[in-house]
Each structure stands twice: as structure tokens, then as C-alpha cells.
Chains A and B, each alone.
Chain A
């Protein structure tokens, strides 16, 4: 199984997180990891900027031949990901 890098997303995943998130995924993309796991365990609040950042990340890692996984999305965060049909970009676990 390929090596996975986990990014643990904070409670609020919104525009305010973009600088942190960009740094986190760029570090992940530089590693040898073939799977990038976004751990949603702590996430309670999500907005469309977060979705935008995730689409951008998807574009970057697909061109690297990587895959993305969303771990433990719950409640409203899960509803928002479902509404945006993110299951087509990321697999859930």
C-alpha cells in the first residue's frame, strides 16, 4: 500500500485557513506520499472557500498521480461535501 500523508483540518475550514492549508498540502505534495488524507475529524464549520481549496488540491495531486481521501467527515461538513458531489474527487473513509 502506498504511503499516505495526513493533513488534520482544524475546526473551522474556511477562507481564513487558506494560508495554512496551502502550506500543508504543498509540503504533502513534495513528499513521496501517493495518498493525501484530509482528516475531517475536528471540522465543524465549512464554507465554499474550503471547497475551492480542495478542488485546487485535487487538480494538483491528480497531475502527480496521487489520490485524495477524506477521513471522518461528520454532520454539516459531510452534508456540504455531499452537496458539492465531492465523492467524485475524493474517496471517503
Chain B
């Protein structure tokens, strides 16, 4: 036994008490000796008693009157009665009142100790079992609470990130409360639609947890305007940072781009994507050429896409492998090829194909449970493109006016982040990303032109003819920079004309004369950099009097 057991002994006869106490102590049992019923009342609240051993007839009454209270307060503590009385009808009543056993007097110490020790062991086992059961109940309640919390978060994430998109029919079935499959479609700022079908290793809460970081990262990255390749790399990075190495996410990414007139596919570890023409004929199956996200380190992830003309494909159908695990046909498991063939066969009415595939017989005969999470999706490219075009790319109106002017002197001219900071500042006014990218290129070219050719006096042709020599000439020239050398940049926005004016001037000799001397057309004379500027700008002017270049970009 784990601790020294304590027995309350009620016996008014001192010889018997001595005999019993000696036997108990010899077996390592501690004895609390009492001689009257009243004494026992004083111990009613004592939780340290492991067994009550009581004579029946005491000078102040019958100990049997104690039984109801003892058994109520200490239901797991056994009570053993002792008497010389052999009226068995009395004994029967004691059992009904809660006594566990009965010992005849005179006491045989060997028999008594065998019973006492057996009861003590039994009582300890019961208490241990009860404690284990309480622990189990508590763990069950805690687990239910944790799952409820996880499901709340899961449900919130799904509702926040899953938006209904025109032209996409999807059905999703899970094997448990949580689903490790997810289909998301998000519109990018450039008017493209990016669709992701992801299937995490396993199922249930573990699979759902594996999907969480991808879901929130995906929508954030699409909304930020990242290209599909950059999104895949970002998702891979996020996955490797937050998910254990033995968990992967097979996924399909599809980008529908009305502006580039392309459909792009990236399939990593998923079944083939089926492509159909306008007559609902299966024309191509786009296989997985990549590994599931999480298997390779991000720098080894291949972002090469399969690219198609938008007009070449009218419908797409794709699914997660749960379909072959959950469904049977004529009592047999489906292979991937069976699924492709079945979908092609049922594609006469494309909008019904998802429901038709769901209607196939479940491996589980009740049809209620699924072995694995399962998703099947059909995209009507025409409807999706029409919806994208309807939500025209309305540029945010940037109200009011602003003007920033700054001058940079000496070695501060070598801070190459200045043009990028300016384009970031414009982004804070919510100019669309493409415009900020153009401003970056224009400001970079004008600023670099002023620093390189104006301030540092490097030949404007050197950069194109010999880039290495240009870099070395630049490094050499920067050593001579002093605080009189400057480049001044002014950015001025006019909401009425939607023009962003950029003026750049510098402390150098100007470049007009050189361009006139080499008058071989704008492209050649201005070089590659200024060609980019003139391509993006509405107007381009150079004032030799002030040695300043002024361009305006229309928004």
C-alpha cells in the first residue's frame, strides 16, 4: 500500500482492543482507538481513516446507528462489524445499512488481519480507479473545449477567406469535423483570379492545422499583388517556418488572367487537372510536375507554370485524392484514371458534374462518413472571366494635392533606396501597385542619371557598352563626392489632371549637349534608362538653363 493505512477501532473491552491493536501494528497498520459511540462521532469528519472496525454493543449505545452517516460521508471507506451475538437477522440489517463484513468474537487475529488487509487493499484500488476516472473526465472536457476553440478559429478562418466566386462550383466533404482540404479563390489587384486547392497530409484537426498558415498567407499575398510564382514561394516559406517537417500540403494553383489572356497552372502532388473545350470534350490533363508544399526547401521549389491561351480552355475540373478513397463504382475502388474517365463521361452538363461525382456510391455504405477529406471543383472559365471583367479595374481616386521635395548631398547620394522609398510613399496614398512600380523605374532612372552622368561625370554610354567598367568607374568617382554635389527631386500630384509631376535636377553639367552631339534618335541618345522613362511618361522635358528634367506620369 502506498501510505501507512489507518484503522479506527471501536472496542470497549480493553483486552480485545489490545489484541487487535497489536495485530494491526504488527502488519504496519496505524490504529485510532475509540471506546464509545460518542468517540466515533468526534471522528466523523476525519478523511484519513481507511477502515472502520467496530464492536456493536457499546456502553453508550449501538454502533450500528453510526452506519448511515459513515457510509454517506465516506462511501469508499469499508466498515467491518464485530460481535459475539449470532442473531443473523441483526447481521443482515447491518449489511443493508452499509457494513461490508462481519467478524465473530472471539477474534481470531489471523483471520481478522487477512480480512482487514484485503479490505484496505480493495479500498485503495477503488480510490485509485475513481481518481483515474476523474482525471479522464477532466481530460475529456478539456479536449472538447480545445476542439471547440479550434473549430471556432477554423470556421472563422474559412468564412473570412473563402469568398464565393462566379463560375466556380465546388463541393467539399470532410472525414471529421475538421477538413484538411480547402479551395480558395481570390481576386488580385491586377484583375486576375487566383484559385488554390490544397490538401494537407492526414485528416481531422491535424490536417486543418497544417492548412491554417497557408490559408491566411494565400489571401494576404494575392491581395498584396504578388505574382503566382512569388505566392508559391511565400507559402512554401511560411509552411516550413510554422509546420513540422513531416506534414505536407499537396496543392493546385490556377491563375486566370484576362489582361494577359492566359491560364496558368501549377500542380504539386495533386491528381491531374482536366481541361475541356467549349464542346465539353476533354482536351488535356495537366499532371503534377512538382512536389507537395513542405517537401522541398523553398529555394528548391520550381515555380515553372504550364501556360495556356485563355481561349484554349473553356472548363476545368480537378479534385483531391479523397475522391478515390471515399467512392466506389460497382463495388470496386476507383483509380485516378477511372475518376478522369467518369468526369469526362459526365461532362455533358458541366455545371452538374460536381454533384454527379458526389452522388457516386460511398465506400461507407451509410454514405454518411468519409474515409478522407474530399474536394471536387469545376470552373467555367467563361463565367469567371466575365465576372472579372464586370468588376472593372476602377483605380482609386487619389484626392487633393501633395508635393514632396528633397535634396541629397555628398555621400548621401549613394543611398540606392531613395526611389524605392518614394514609390512606397505613393503606395500609402493607395495608388495601384503597377503605377508605383512605374514611378520607381522613372525616379530610379532620373536619379541614377543625375548621380552617374550629372554629378559623377561618367560617360552615359559606358553603362550599356561595358557594365563592369561602368561599375568600376562609378566606384572610383564616388570617392570624389563632396557636399556641394547635389541631386534635387520634386514630386507633385494633381488630382484634377491625374498627373504626377517629377522633376529632377543636379549640380552637374547637364546632358543635353551630349545627346545632341550623338543625335541618332531618341533611343540611342538617351540610352536604355531614359528610354524607359519616355515610355512610361506622358511628357518629358529637359531644361538646360536649370539643368532639370521634368516628366509627368498619368494615373
**Which residues on A are within 8 Å of B, measured CB to CB?**
6, 8, 12, 14-16, 18, 39-42, 44-49, 51-53, 55-56, 71-72, 74-77, 80, 83-84, 93
Contacts and interface: CB of A to CB of B under 8 A. Distances in A.
A76 B189 CA distance: 14
B494 interface: no
26 contacts: A6-B302, A8-B299, A14-B420, A41-B227, A41-B228, A41-B232, A41-B233, A42-B226, A45-B420, A46-B441, A47-B444, A47-B445, A47-B529, A51-B528, A52-B464, A52-B470, A71-B303, A72-B227, A72-B228, A75-B225, A75-B227, A76-B441, A80-B532, A83-B532, A93-B304, A93-B307
Contacts of A56: 467-468
Contacts of B438: 76
Interface residues of B, number: 40
Contacts, number: 96
A48 B437 contact: no
B303 A75 contact: no
B308 to A, nearest CB: 13
Contacts of A93: 304, 307
Contacts of A80: 441, 532
A41 B307 CA distance: 14
A75 to B, nearest CB: 6
A18 B441 contact: no
Contacts of A14: 416, 420, 444
B387 interface: no
A84 B529 CA distance: 10
A74 B227 contact: yes
Given A41-B230, A72-B229, A75-B227, A48 B529 contact: yes
Contact of B229 (A12, A41, A52): A41
Contact of B417 (A16, A39, A53): A16
B531 A15 contact: no
Given A42-B233, A48-B463, A76-B437, A83 B535 contact: yes
A37 to B, nearest CB: 8
B57 interface: no
A44 B302 CA distance: 19
Contacts of B227: 40-42, 72, 74-75
A45 B426 CA distance: 14
Given A51-B528, A76-B438, A44 B417 contact: no
Contacts of A44: 225, 433, 437
Most chain B beta-carbon contacts within 10 A, residue among A12, A18, A47, A51? A47
A74 B230 CA distance: 10
B74 to A, nearest CB: 72
Contacts of A71: 229, 303-304
Contacts of A8: 233, 299
A76 B471 CA distance: 25
A44 B230 CA distance: 10
Most chain A beta-carbon contacts within 10 A, residue among B226, B299, B303, B470? B303
A6 B527 CA distance: 29
A80 B529 CA distance: 10
Nearest to A16: B416
Given A72-B229, A83-B535, 16 more contacts: A15-B444, A15-B448, A41-B233, A44-B225, A45-B437, A45-B444, A47-B448, A48-B463, A48-B529, A49-B463, A52-B464, A71-B303, A75-B437, A80-B441, A93-B304, A93-B307
